[in-house]
Structure 1
Amino acid sequence: MWNASKVINTLRPGFFGGLISLAGTAMGAGDIEFNTDVLDLSDRTNIDLSRFARSGFILPGNYSMVVQLNTQPITEQSVAFYPPDDDPKGSQACLSPELVEQLGLKQSGVAKLRWWKDGQCLDPQGLPGMEVSADLATSTLSINLPQAYLEYSAINWDPPSRWDEGVPGLLIDYNMTAQSSYRRHDGTRNDLTGNGTLGANAGAWRLRADWQGRVEKDRESAARRQKLEWSRYYAYRALPELKARLVVGEDYLYSDLFDSFRFTGAGLKSDESQLPPNLRGYAPEVVGVAKTNAKVIVSQQGRVLYETLVAAGPFRIQDLNDAVSGRLDVRVEEQDGSVQKFQLDTAGVPYLTRPGQVRYKLSAGQPSNLQYHDDGAFFGTGEFSWGISNGWSLLGGAILDNNYRALSAGVGRDLLAFGAISVDVTESRAHLWNETLKGKSYRLQYSKNFEQYDSQVTFAGYRFSEKNFLSMSQYLDAKHYGMNGELGGRGVYDQNGEFVEHWRPIGGNKALYTVTVNKQFRDLGATVYASYNKQTYWNRPQTQRWNLSASRYFNLGTVKNLNMSLNVYRTREYHHKDNGMSLTVSLPFGRSGTLSMDANRSGGDNSFSTRFSDRIDERNSYQLGASNNSASGYLSHIGDQADVDLSASTQQGNNRTLSASVRGGGTLTPYGAALHRTTSTGGTRLMVDTGGVSDVPVRGYGTPTRSNAFGKAVISDISSYQRTAASVDLERLPNNVEATQSVTQLTLTEGAIGYRSLEVIFGSKAMAVLRLPDGSSPPFGATVKNMKQQDTGIVNDGGNVYLSGIQAGKQMIVSWGGSEGCILTLPAILPIDGLTDALQLSCQRIATEQSLPEPAALTGTRNTMENTSS
């Protein structure tokens, strides 16, 4: 009976770790001689220790290694080792020009570089203080460089020299929601909505086309309405030298000084996402309360930005793109048929810039909209913010066409302990319908993080506009609809094609108040969040929305971690008012579940409900709910190819609703294709190649995804311009798969399709005994590799070896003395228990031009040092 664990442990770390340690303590640069008498071997004449004969020596060749710069991994690539000119028996890592470029050297450091091997390899001695070392045991190439030579870097962020543009490819991402509802008086209504992105990557360019659609059908009338539109065609790329993003095609003007509108043309703007994370800005969030399982749609000027199913209760959407600005339309479609609609003016932090730097945005083109396409004359716009000193920023901009002009100027001030503030004024002049309108708009913005009080004024803003002030979008509306917004019989329709009103006043904005506040009470375990938005007009009723939410964790007797949360909101838009509140008490229930009790008031109606939510496993969770007039269920599944949400509810009066949402995508590259789940349509992703091995779990930050039948998996939770790690989930590896390389790191640009391969070995594991045709065995220390050149074992005494990656009928190669020695063929039928029943394998000699030395002749030179056995 084999003692498998003892043999395995002897073969790998123990013995060879001891040899490496012994080699490392030897003095001098010459060859190390081993005293083989200290080895417990039956045949001390059949040993190959040539790979350990020199301290730190690595045989010349190419090795896949993780390159570390000052202990931080930066890339993984093939590194060549060559003998230096002054030491033919030595070896030195070749730092290629491509690898040196990824180090992020300053120009002053680049000027000092020296090269060897005809300019193919960097000479480390050209940069005083530079050290290069390699470790085969960990497949690591360590580079130490004084920080004075390097560009700015931060944790999980790399300078542009290390950014990866990805590989060419095609992608299609989608988000589909199907809903079937039955109402006693209205019958059955089925509808299917969706949005997504079709795209292609070529070099640094990202080509994208956004689509959205809706299909509705009523059973009684058999009427069917359907609409599919391509909401946006565009292409973009990063310009790392300028820290900017270039967009051509259909885009939206996202400005810090002017309001947003759609146009066709080109835009160049500073891209904060290319900066280190601590220098990046703000992204809007949407907060509300769903009375039932609901669908939330966030849109802007008719284009759907975000659509998702939410469970009953408070919801908070925080993963909108940080480039979104301006007014957002929020629509909450409840499963009882009711609809909540409100608008949200997104906040912007004060437009401040670091001293000596300039942030800018330039755009030119022709205004357009989804319904009427071209909607105005050619225009141009530009804006900037210049850090003129340590605390002051000067900002300004202009937007012009042949009949409209707006100029803006302002200042920003860093108040240090008191936050940051900016003030700007915009003057507009518009000539239309034989009339000239001229007015000014004044704006004040403030932001402060009160760390000592655990409080943050995320944004506070005030804008006052004179009666005749028109923004660009208001000017375009006036050109299209007339000065008083007379629309004839066409009317105004929302993003779902539903009629809203016959007329809409143009302009008339008077004052806008916006504030968002967060406060944590750590001693009490409580958090308070509040937001307020109010818009007044010169010629129509005001609109406002405020939201207040508070939550607190506490203990009650033996029950720990109870949570009580209160959410109160009020919306007023023209003649519509909607007040509501929700009080929720949650407590742990069972092993991982949560039991919640809700009291809600909305639209003048009171409701009481109880919800139970729990996780089945890391991929599946559910929620069951019941109230005084309804019952509901919600199931969420995180899949390898898509995320799926299901919800069902029944209301009083035999009203029923069933909904399903699917979010996923597909990616095609020259290296293969895979279906996958997605987090952001058209966004950055990483394709992982497991060498044709299926069912290998790989992960980014979230739940693992498994490689498909072709050994390809796509990870979508990848950040742009931020160092990201993808790894094999070793705890969930199948028994017949072994990962020899489990982690890879890279930094991808926005929208890139990254590609990395992770080395895994597929096959069974078993003990084996190798024999040459003459009955002898390969020497102790010989290596065994499969046909993919993956290490599968190291020969022990007497030809014993623990093999991995065993596949019936496949072949492996045994090497010693720096050459391939013999080839073995695995049996067609493998033993059931490879650890107790050792395979008897015959290894056939490989015919070469120069005959290999006999195993018995590979005797290691005996060490003449005395008492080495001690």
Structure 2
Amino acid sequence: MLNTSKVKYSLRPGLFSGLMSLAGTAMASGDIEFNTDVLDLNDRTNIDLSRFARSGFILPGTYSMVVQVNAQPIAEQSVVFYPPDNDPKGSQACLSPDLVEQLGLKASGAAKLTWWNNGQCLDLQGLPGMEVSGDLATSTLTINLPQAYLEYSDINWDPPSRWDEGVPGLLADYSITAQSNYQNNRGNRNNLSGNGTLGANAGAWRFRADWQGRFERRREGEAKDQKLDWTRYYAYRAIPALKSRLVVGENYLYSDLFDSFRFTGAALSSDENQLPPNLRGYAPEVVGVAKTNAKVVVSQQGRVLYETLVAAGPFRIQDLNDAVSGSLDVRVEEQDGSVHSFQLDTAGVPYLTRPGQVRYKLATGRPSNLQYNGDGDFFGTGEFSWGVSNGWSLFGGGITDNNYHALSVGAGRDLLAFGALSLDVTQSQATVWNERLAGKSYRLQYSKHFEQYDSQITFAGYRFSEKGFLSMSEYLNARHYGLNGELGGRGGENEDGERIDDWKPIGGSKALYTATVNKQFRDLGATVYASYNKQTYWDRPHTQRWNLSVSRYFNVGTVKNMSLSLNIYRTLEYSYKDNGAALTVSLPLGRTGTLSLDAYRAAGDNSFSSRFSDRLDARNSYQLRASDSSASGYLTHMGDQADIDLSASQQSGNSSLGVSARGGGTLTSHGAALHRTNSTGGTRLMVDTGGVPDVPVRGYGSPSRSNAFGKAVISDISSYQRTAASVDLESLPNNVEATQSVTQLTLTEGAIGYRSLDVIAGEKAMAVLRLEDGNSPPFGAQVKNMKQQDTGIVNDDGLVYLSGIQAGGQMAVSWGGAEQCILTLPVVLPADGLTDALQLSCRKTATDQSLPVPPVLSGQPTDTENTSS
């Protein structure tokens, strides 16, 4: 058997140097004549260079290729190459009608299209300046088009013609938190809480069911707060032609003019996510401080939007959905048993629209409530924004039912260098408990990004409401609870005759102030973040929440990248007050560790502690914290199937243990996989590695590895934004090779995308090929596995470096444009690897019963002449 090192030596000059030194001339579409005298070959008569004989020539057939339009990848799909009528020896890519639709042609360009091959292929002459070329080495079909033919596109955004609705499938996402607390005087308190989404996709439709639950046990055998609610059943889909989103079922009103409330019905609205990124809004942020390892729950009108464990210290939640609007309830449950909560009013940027465009939102149905279902008469609402000119926008809308009417009008102005400003006024009329209330509400909004100063007023707003003004949600609460939360002599029943035993303050809003500011001082290495919310009322105490965060990086002597951060907050809600501050000094320790010294003041108490945080690797990080009266630990693991957080603490005889998991499962006709996720029910991409397990696939952050069936799911993908998934080549197992490592696509909201990556699994080794007559295949012959993946090119005297060698597998050898014979690989491969060249026989048919069984390789040299496979 030949020595591998000698084989590799003869391969280099024979194939690579020889082909690079080819002599001859070639016209753009003419044949190339090779001077084979420059090739270092023993037999110059046994050569097959047909695949290289014409510049850019691709044999007629079907190929899986990534299509690029003006250097931007748009999709991976099958492309057929046909010989054109005027050149039977040539080949030309067939651009099918489905592919042409994805090019994003303007209507004027589409009108010029002509076709050939019975209307199945685009005639390139119909669009002057259009060029198409294929490259099998990179599996790429390159299309160059004059920009005048194309719709608007962005570096990360594609026009609707390129959007992918995904494949049909099922999904189940969850976020679960379990905590166990022991207190000396109260015993054990265990609770399990969570929320999630079940869903199904069919075409463009997304069907979803949201759930949330809580189970708490305080003493043995006694259950408290055991509850499971299905909070929403709904379906939605994108309507690209209208840049809008249709939702039917249980929903929340997401309005730029009116407040949010729950209802059952239908809504059709312009979808900002379908616009280019620079025209979209932003998602709200939740900022606070946790005294200990804590659970943070963000909800709205009783529906849990977000739940997670956070480590002790300042926290900042930035991954809420940007469709959320209105007031959010934030609850921080400390592991020592204390709880503090506050309300946060989400902000919206001024309601501006591009010149000539109209944005709208329409909805109808019946208001509903998680606690008492039906909650009012059928209503209808509509609003719009019209871009009148390059700087002005007019907007307005109305909402009405049998006893409530509201009308709003306003105008917005783009002040260019000075930001954007809008002003609107809303008039409401309501009849509640036989009383008629009417009033106006005025609102002013401002937004500005000062790029030259690295600062941004994300939002600043002011609203003033007259005493008789009621929003829709205040009107609905008044129907149920009574005006100002009093049932006064009405026998404890609401207007619908339902018995009411609880109490809730209603209406009476006077003024609302909101502001959010970001500022970076790059020269000082400092960042400032501030937010302010204040709500005043006509007939009860006001509520207030403000937060200020300041951080700065600096050096002290030889210690680099130290940081100082200060977080101050104040919450005032009716009779509840909570003032707090956290001061942290951090310095690097070790290669990746950080040592922090913390000083807290919360609820009138002072505390001091030290923390050490570090990461074990790219997927695991931890934090240890200690003070004079407590100790705690926090571990975060980013797994392929779920994200897991573990926390434990001990304080003054009280101990606690907590764990949270966030993940999901996705099932399609192509396969199934468990995966991590943060946004339940969101958009995701299933990547198929061709049945090869343990392939690292990267979307963002740490890569996920394909499961035992060769499937991996990348979740939390941005809708309507170009997304790339790739094989992490640096982390590939030694016996795996990726011939196609990157794929790109743009998915619609909630879609389950599907893409396959060309991955070859198996051993690699040199081999010597022999035909049945003892000769070798010609120089330049191709070797492919049964998946039609290229695994090698034959060199001089039948030498070939093969990849993807599987025990007992088969490969095909092709030359002259056709498959000529089949290789059968050994049924058992040596445990210590393939160190010697394989001797393989190439048979005319793989099913020939006379074929001998391939021998078991022992790794020992054998007589080359007597080896048949």
User: Does the alignment reach a TM-score above 0.5?
Assistant: yes
In structure 1, runs of 5+ residues without a counterpart are 493-499, 849-870
Alpha-carbon contact 2:822-2:846 (below 8 Å) kept: no
- One-letter amino acid matched to 2:616: I
User: Match of 1:57?
Assistant: 57
Residue 17 of structure 1: how far off its partner (Å):
4.7
Query: Does the C-alpha gap of structure 1 residues 613 and 17 become closer, same or farther in structure 2, counting only changes over 3 Å?
Result: farther
User: Match of 1:708?
Assistant: 707
User: Match of 2:529?
Assistant: 529
Residue 628 of structure 1: how far off its partner (Å):
2.0
Listed as ranges, the matches of 1:27-42 within 5 Å are: 27=27, 29-42=29-42
Residue 139 of structure 1: how far off its partner (Å):
1.7
C-alpha distance in 2 between matches for 1:311 and 1:17: 59
- One-letter amino acid matched to 1:809: G
**SS of alignment partner, residue 484 of structure 2:** coil
C-alpha distance in 2 between matches for 1:595 and 1:691: 45
Alpha-carbon contact 1:268-1:362 (below 8 Å) kept: yes
User: Match of 2:622?
Assistant: 622
**SS of alignment partner, residue 100 of structure 1:** helix
1:299-332 residue CA offsets vs partner (Å, 9 max, x unmatched)? 0000000001100000011110000000000000
**SS of alignment partner, residue 646 of structure 1:** strand
Listed as ranges, the matches of 1:300-311 within 5 Å are: 300-311=300-311
Query: Does the C-alpha gap of structure 1 residues 29 and 572 become closer, same or farther in structure 2, counting only changes over 3 Å?
Result: closer
After TM superposition, the score normalised by the length of structure 2 is: 0.94
User: Match of 2:189?
Assistant: 189
User: Match of 2:359?
Assistant: 359
Q: Does 1:243 align with 2:248?
A: no
User: Match of 2:866?
Assistant: none
User: Match of 2:829?
Assistant: 830
**SS of alignment partner, residue 108 of structure 2:** helix
Query: Does the C-alpha gap of structure 1 residues 517 and 764 become closer, same or farther in structure 2, counting only changes over 3 Å?
Result: same
Residue 31 of structure 1: how far off its partner (Å):
2.6
1:572-620 residue CA offsets vs partner (Å, 9 max, x unmatched)? 0001111000000111100101111100000000000100000100010
1:128-172 residue CA offsets vs partner (Å, 9 max, x unmatched)? 111111222222211111100000000011000000000000000
Q: Does 1:818 align with 2:817?
A: yes
After TM superposition, the score normalised by the length of structure 1 is: 0.94
Query: Does the C-alpha gap of structure 1 residues 384 and 332 become closer, same or farther in structure 2, counting only changes over 3 Å?
Result: same
User: Match of 1:228?
Assistant: 228
User: Match of 1:744?
Assistant: 743
User: Match of 1:685?
Assistant: 684
User: Match of 2:386?
Assistant: 386
C-alpha distance in 1 between matches for 2:172 and 2:10: 51
Listed as ranges, the matches of 1:715-864 within 5 Å are: 715-831=714-830, 836-846=835-845
Alpha-carbon contact 1:490-1:502 (below 8 Å) kept: no
Of 275-284 and 297-306, more deviation after overlay is shown by: 275-284
User: Match of 1:643?
Assistant: 643
User: Match of 1:559?
Assistant: 559
1:800-857 residue CA offsets vs partner (Å, 9 max, x unmatched)? 1111111111111111111221112111222456664111111112499xxxxxxxxx
Query: Does the C-alpha gap of structure 1 residues 17 and 68 become closer, same or farther in structure 2, counting only changes over 3 Å?
Result: farther
1:49-104 residue CA offsets vs partner (Å, 9 max, x unmatched)? 11111122111111111111111111111111111111111111111111111000
Q: Does 1:319 align with 2:319?
A: yes
- One-letter amino acid matched to 2:280: R
Alpha-carbon contact 1:702-1:717 (below 8 Å) kept: no
**SS of alignment partner, residue 484 of structure 1:** helix
C-alpha distance in 2 between matches for 1:739 and 1:577: 59
Query: Does the C-alpha gap of structure 1 residues 54 and 306 become closer, same or farther in structure 2, counting only changes over 3 Å?
Result: same
Residue 717 of structure 1: how far off its partner (Å):
3.5
- One-letter amino acid matched to 1:672: G
Alpha-carbon contact 2:182-2:188 (below 8 Å) kept: yes
C-alpha distance in 2 between matches for 1:422 and 1:514: 15
Of 829-838 and 633-642, more deviation after overlay is shown by: 829-838
Instruction: Say what the alpha-carbon RMSD is for the aligned residues.
Output: 1.9
- One-letter amino acid matched to 1:291: K
C-alpha distance in 2 between matches for 1:550 and 1:730: 40
C-alpha distance in 2 between matches for 1:452 and 1:674: 46
Q: Does 1:210 align with 2:204?
A: no
Residue 658 of structure 1: how far off its partner (Å):
0.1
User: Match of 1:612?
Assistant: 612
**SS of alignment partner, residue 333 of structure 1:** strand
Alpha-carbon contact 1:769-1:801 (below 8 Å) kept: yes
Residue 505 of structure 1: how far off its partner (Å):
2.6
Of 507-516 and 827-836, more deviation after overlay is shown by: 827-836
Listed as ranges, the matches of 1:244-393 within 5 Å are: 244-393=244-393
Residue 452 of structure 1: how far off its partner (Å):
2.0
Query: Does the C-alpha gap of structure 1 residues 61 and 187 become closer, same or farther in structure 2, counting only changes over 3 Å?
Result: same
- One-letter amino acid matched to 2:769: L
C-alpha distance in 2 between matches for 1:604 and 1:14: 79
C-alpha distance in 2 between matches for 1:285 and 1:11: 63
1:504-543 residue CA offsets vs partner (Å, 9 max, x unmatched)? 2321011111111111111111111111111111110111
**SS of alignment partner, residue 51 of structure 2:** helix
Listed as ranges, the matches of 1:533-612 within 5 Å are: 533-612=533-612
C-alpha distance in 2 between matches for 1:688 and 1:236: 25
**SS of alignment partner, residue 331 of structure 1:** strand
User: Match of 1:506?
Assistant: 506
Query: Does the C-alpha gap of structure 1 residues 781 and 628 become closer, same or farther in structure 2, counting only changes over 3 Å?
Result: same
C-alpha distance in 2 between matches for 1:207 and 1:12: 56
- One-letter amino acid matched to 2:125: Q
1:360-407 residue CA offsets vs partner (Å, 9 max, x unmatched)? 110000000101111000000001111111111111000000110000
- Alignment equivalent of 2:4, drawn from 2, 22, 33: 2
C-alpha distance in 1 between matches for 2:409 and 2:630: 55
C-alpha distance in 2 between matches for 1:166 and 1:154: 21
**SS of alignment partner, residue 161 of structure 1:** helix
Query: Does the C-alpha gap of structure 1 residues 10 and 699 become closer, same or farther in structure 2, counting only changes over 3 Å?
Result: farther
Residue 28 of structure 1: how far off its partner (Å):
6.6
Alpha-carbon contact 1:488-1:502 (below 8 Å) kept: no
1:433-489 residue CA offsets vs partner (Å, 9 max, x unmatched)? 111111111111111112222221111111111111101011111111112313699
**SS of alignment partner, residue 142 of structure 1:** strand
C-alpha distance in 2 between matches for 1:698 and 1:29: 39
C-alpha distance in 2 between matches for 1:488 and 1:192: 39
C-alpha distance in 1 between matches for 2:725 and 2:838: 36
Query: Does the C-alpha gap of structure 1 residues 642 and 11 become closer, same or farther in structure 2, counting only changes over 3 Å?
Result: farther
User: Match of 1:855?
Assistant: none
**SS of alignment partner, residue 223 of structure 1:** strand
- One-letter amino acid matched to 2:403: N
1:269-328 residue CA offsets vs partner (Å, 9 max, x unmatched)? 110101111111121110000000000000000000000110000001111000000000
In structure 2, runs of 5+ residues without a counterpart are 493-499, 848-869
Alpha-carbon contact 2:18-2:38 (below 8 Å) kept: no
Listed as ranges, the matches of 1:473-484 within 5 Å are: 473-484=473-484
Alpha-carbon contact 2:682-2:716 (below 8 Å) kept: no
Residue 220 of structure 1: how far off its partner (Å):
5.2
Residue 679 of structure 1: how far off its partner (Å):
2.2
Query: Does the C-alpha gap of structure 1 residues 524 and 775 become closer, same or farther in structure 2, counting only changes over 3 Å?
Result: same
C-alpha distance in 2 between matches for 1:842 and 1:311: 63
C-alpha distance in 1 between matches for 2:15 and 2:302: 63
C-alpha distance in 1 between matches for 2:517 and 2:55: 61
Query: Does the C-alpha gap of structure 1 residues 360 and 716 become closer, same or farther in structure 2, counting only changes over 3 Å?
Result: same
Query: Does the C-alpha gap of structure 1 residues 487 and 707 become closer, same or farther in structure 2, counting only changes over 3 Å?
Result: farther
- One-letter amino acid matched to 1:431: T
User: Match of 2:103?
Assistant: 103
- One-letter amino acid matched to 1:774: D
